[in-house]
Amino acid sequence: MNKHYIRPAAPSDGQMISTLIIHTVCETNASDYSPKVIEQICTNFSLENVLRKMQIRDVFVCLDEDHCAGTISLEGNKLHSLFVDPNLQRQNIGKQLVIYLENHALTRGQTELYLSSSITAVPFYERLGYLLIKFEERRNGSTYLMKKQLSNLA
């Protein structure tokens, strides 16, 4: 039986989401971005900023018992903020979160999904059928714009 489950996040989840993201950025993304950029990304995911984003995005958490194993969000037709606990990566949690969000986006009437991938996650999204559109150069962390047609989902 799958011991992980995904549910919509509540404001009371804000602290565990912020903690998970900051930990994951420092552990997993640090090899692809400078320490200054990593610090800026962590600031973007302070508790205050996570709670602010929750007001405009549909945010979901993947729980491993009471522990926050991962998170993902949707704003319009854009997937945001996918992070999986470094100790639980490569166990299909990221893939389950993306599939969950794709289905949620479909119920919201979206037929295509965009995302700005970290350098770190491009091969992961390519495995899930996302196509690279362009490099997005930014001083606070360059990303790759990617896209998937949801109408092709099974």
**Residue numbers of the site for ligand COA (CB under 6 A)?**
24, 28-29, 82-84, 89-95, 117-118, 120-121, 123-124, 127
Task: Kindly state the smallest distance separating residue 62's Cβ from ligand COA, in Å.
Answer: 9
Give dist(CA 48, CA 65) in Å, integer.
25
Give dist(CA 48, CA 68) in Å, integer.
18
Residue nearest to ligand COA (CB): 94
**Residue type for position 107:** T
Task: Kindly state the smallest distance separating residue 89's Cβ from ligand COA, in Å.
Answer: 3
Give dist(CA 10, CA 102) in Å, integer.
20
CB 77 within 8 A of CB 114: yes
Q: Which is nearer to ligand COA, 6 or 93 (CB)?
A: 93
Q: Which is nearer to ligand COA, 50 or 121 (CB)?
A: 121
Q: Which is nearer to ligand COA, 71 or 110 (CB)?
A: 71
Q: Mark out the alpha helices in the chain (DSSP H runs).
A: 14-24, 35-44, 47-54, 93-107, 122-127
Task: Kindly state the smallest distance separating residue 25's Cβ from ligand COA, in Å.
Answer: 7
Q: Which is nearer to ligand COA, 18 or 29 (CB)?
A: 29
Bridge-based pairing state of the strands 131-136 and 4-8: unpaired
